[in-house]
Amino acid sequence: MLILTGQLTWDDLGPARRAVDEARVRALVADLLEGGTRLDAARRRALADQVDVALLAELGPWVAGWNWSASEPGQGGPVRPDAWCCADDSFLKGKDPIGATVDRIVEAIRDWQAFLEELDRAFAELAPEVESGSVEVGVELAARRLLPLVLDRTQAEDAWYATFVIVLTWFLESIGHEAGEVGPAIEGVVKGHFRSWSVPAPTTVEVAVEELGREVARTASTPPSAPDALARWLEHRPELPRAERQVVARRPVSRDAHRHFIRTIDAGRGEARASGLIEALAACRGAARDGARLGLEVVREWQGLVLGVGQAPIRSGPAFAKGGRERYGWDAGALARFEACLDEANDEKLDPTVRAARVYLDVCFFHPFEDGNARAARLVLDFVLSRAGLALHACEPLFVMSRSVVDGRDVFLLWLALDRLTGLAEVG
């Protein structure tokens, strides 16, 4: 679940979101595992993925890190191996495979929750000290304090430094920095100094910590440029897999995650915003049930409901977002290219999660409307999934993150997260 955990904000992991009904979790997991004791390794791993998604749907996005283990290949995570080692060694093993697996999953959730509580305390202690000085000195202080905590939790196993990158980013985010700005700077420094399966020498730590302070301070103080995000998106768009439609075993969705997101997150920004989105979502899903094709006019109608303006106006010139850090170019052929991208999303020969991820980013980076483009992107994603009889178990890892197209990584990660979070639609 590192792919999802790393895309969550610190707010998504907050204490108020971490309620666990252990009896309910035990019953849910045991029910999923019933009859799974004689499966081969590949089918057991597929079943482990279903448990992942079921826990996410039951408890919310914060639980995504329950199996982020230091012993899971390539993960280097904070969940201790005695709670959860890795899927091959921890899943359906032993004399009582189902009972033992349920116990280990519950223990792993507890361990993940305990780690987040440890971060709560560390962040609360650090914040007043860090905020009292310069950015450079504050980042150095935070890095020095948080590095031993991460090393202790991961025992420097595997790619442990990935945990350090995420933890330091979460802390800086908790005191007001933009994760999308400081995260890449932190990652660049850390990967240049720290190594897997190795506790860094004190001299290495000092060099890295000082460089972290300089790089984050430079990132925070340098006036942001405004690259043409649309041009970069069109460069990376072909990098999404062009997979033909596949038959994938997916769990039924237990609740309407998109509607829940509107009623909780969007409603926090105003009831009018939430009401417009609920109406637009109903229209979007009605069109999907009726077999409509995705196109500019129908998307404009939905966006009109979102904004309460009738038919939403198309922009006529460059647009800016993220405080001016990102620019979306617009020329005479942009609208026709956007319409062609929308039409591609109707190609049912291609896997629906690929089409949904691609058209979501099309709307984000073509940025066709004068306002509300992120909400329009959510609607077209929902339409493509609904047409295919699919829905989302959870939305936060997709909708709360600001997407970048500096390289193609975010493009692939969005699709991968979307694919993991998609299930069979059983809600209206």
Residue 319: its pLDDT value, please? 87
Residue 176: its pLDDT value, please? 87
Q: Where are the domains of the chain?
A: 2-221, 229-424
C-alpha span between 163 and 219 (Å, rounded): 21
Structure tokens, 44 = 């057991």
226 and 400 in contact (C-beta within 8 Å)? no
Which portions of the chain are predicted below pLDDT 70?
1-3, 36, 70-74, 222-226, 242-248, 323-325, 401-408, 427-428
Residue 407: its pLDDT value, please? 60
Give the closest residue to 386 by CA, choosing from 238, 302, 284: 284
The 3 state secondary structure assigned to 266-324 is: HHHHCHHHHHHHHHHHHHHHHHHHCCCCCCHHHHHHHHHHHHCCCCCCECCCCEEECCC
Residue 96: its pLDDT value, please? 85
59 and 25 in contact (C-beta within 8 Å)? yes
> Max alpha carbon distance in the chain (Å)?
68
Q: What angle do CA 358, 362, 368 make, to 5 degrees?
A: 160
Residue 248: its pLDDT value, please? 61
C-alpha span between 298 and 328 (Å, rounded): 22
* Coil/strand/helix, residue 125: helix
CB atoms within 10 A of CB 209: 18
Q: What angle do CA 247, 32, 248 make, to 5 degrees?
A: 5
C-alpha span between 241 and 140 (Å, rounded): 40
Residue 213: its pLDDT value, please? 95
Residue 71: its pLDDT value, please? 63
Q: Which residues is 252 bridged to in the sheet? A: 424
Residue 224: its pLDDT value, please? 54
Q: What is the pTM of this model?
A: 0.75
Q: Which residues is 244 bridged to in the sheet? A: 350
The domain 229-424 is placed in CATH, from the list 1.20.58.2240, 3.90.45.10, 3.40.250.10, 1.10.3290.10, at 1.10.3290.10
Helices (H), 40-134: 41-59, 87-90, 97-131
